[in-house]
Amino acid sequence: MISIEGLTKIYRSETGDVVALKNVNLKVSAGEVFGIIGSSGAGKSTLIRCINLLEKPTKGQVKIEGKDITKLSNRELMKLRRSLGMIFQHFNLLMQKTVNENIAFPLQVANVPRKQINERVKELLELVGLIDKADYYPSQLSGGQKQRVAIARALANNPKVLLCDEATSALDPITSKSILALLKDINKRFGLTIVLITHQIEVIKEICDRVAVIEKGQIIETGNVVDVLMHPKTTSTKNLVSSGLIDKIPPDMVLWGRKQDYQRRLKVSFSGEAAMKPVISYMVMEYQVYANILFADINYLKDTMVGELVLELSGERNAVEQSIRFLREQDLVIEELG
């Protein structure tokens, strides 16, 4: 659907050049929710803005359905943009226009006949649950409601792709969740491809199918959300992903156990079906070891259940080692902690 090849963006200014993106390659498939995560200044906004050419790439190609859009004429570009909706962190609604007029705007821009506009606006208001706010002005709406208007507006011309630039960053966690749920719903119902950028791992966990991690203008990791989050390859990704809890278990924490016992500390990660099996209790009974759970967390990554467990196993050396071997044979990922 979207294919970015060798994309480089350099901002030139009197104080020197800023390389915002360096040789970025990405592929987004039709119908998926693709997340791009990175810390502040990593180049996320620049990257997503290159997809609809709000920012002109310095080098490289942006292909949409196989067509390199950096080569389009202005007129063609404007037409193309109608098939790419976009929403923003600060909503960017027309402040002097009502909710109705805001949603009608992209349709007027595309010269849709008035009667059709009215029908379409109604549909969209229903979709985002704002029928009763049709004649309100943005200044009379909450942040969440404003973003709903922005979503309706972005969907007006039935785009193939929705670009979201930090769409939930200005919202409180609960509102943020409801907006993500709406996006998820739209993605499912209309098969709309969604590309979103965020600095919040929760957003990735909540709705993304695939994720790319961007750092200093470069993509350092890409893959399925479950894979990248469960097995981050780089420290930067680890830092982004880690809930921070595991690191906070004090190493000298006094644990229950007998002096003579052999002890090993493990991190066990599991996803999907493995989450359902009573592996630990089986192991404890089978190998006669003590399993002390220092940390446990179960989460949903979109629709996949995943979990993490920090275990301290103690008992006879042999028994402990056998249990570890047993764990490794399961559908689990085992990592020894120092």
Partner 1 sequence: MTADVLIEYLEMLGQGTLETIYMTMASALFSYIFGLPLGVISVVSEPAGILPNPKLHNVLDKIINITRSIPFIILLIALLPLTRLIVGTTIGPTASIVPLTIAAIPFVARLVETALKEIDYGIIEAAQSMGATPWQIIRKVMIPETLPSLIMGASITTITLIGYSAMAGVCGGGGLGDLAIRYGYYRYEDDVMILTIILLVIIVQIIQSIGDYLSKRIDKKNK
Short-list 58, 158, 137, CA closest to 95: 137
Short-list 225, 234, 219, 221, CA closest to 60: 219
Among 17, 29, 109, 131, the residue binding partner 1 under the rule CB under 8 A is 109
Among 22, 82, 267, 302, the residue binding partner 1 under the rule CB under 8 A is 82
Q: Does 110 bind partner 1 (CB under 8 A)?
A: yes
Q: At what angle do helices 114-128 and 99-109 cross, to 10 degrees?
A: 130
Candidates 56-64, 149-157, 195-203, 283-291: pick the segment binding partner 1 (CB under 8 A).
149-157
3-class DSSP state for residue 147? helix
Mask for 29-58, x = binds Mg ion (CB under 5 A): ----------------x-------------
Given a contact cutoff of 8 angstroms between Cβ atoms, the answer to whether 279 and 327 are in contact is yes
H-type alpha helices, the chain: 44-51, 74-81, 99-109, 114-128, 143-155, 173-190, 201-207, 225-230, 235-241, 279-287, 317-329
Candidates 11-19, 118-126, 276-284, 326-334: pick the segment binding ligand ATP (CB under 6 A).
11-19
3-class DSSP state for residue 82? coil
Short-list 163, 52, 158, 157, CA closest to 108: 157
3-class DSSP state for residue 41? coil
Mask for 29-68, x = binds ligand ATP (CB under 6 A): ---------x-xxxxxxx----------------------
Q: DSSP class of residue 43?
A: S
Candidates 13-21, 202-210, 241-249, 271-279: pick the segment binding ligand ATP (CB under 6 A).
13-21
315 binding partner (options partner 1, Mg ion, ligand ATP, none; Cβ < 5 to 8 Å by kind): none
Helix (H) or strand (E) holding 178: helix 173-190
Q: Does 160 bind partner 1 (CB under 8 A)?
A: no
Q: Does 20 bind ligand ATP (CB under 6 A)?
A: yes
Size of the site for Mg ion (CB under 5 A): 1
Give me the residues that bind partner 1 (CB under 8 A), please: 52, 54, 77-82, 84-86, 88, 90, 92-97, 105-106, 108-110, 137-140, 150, 153-154, 157, 163
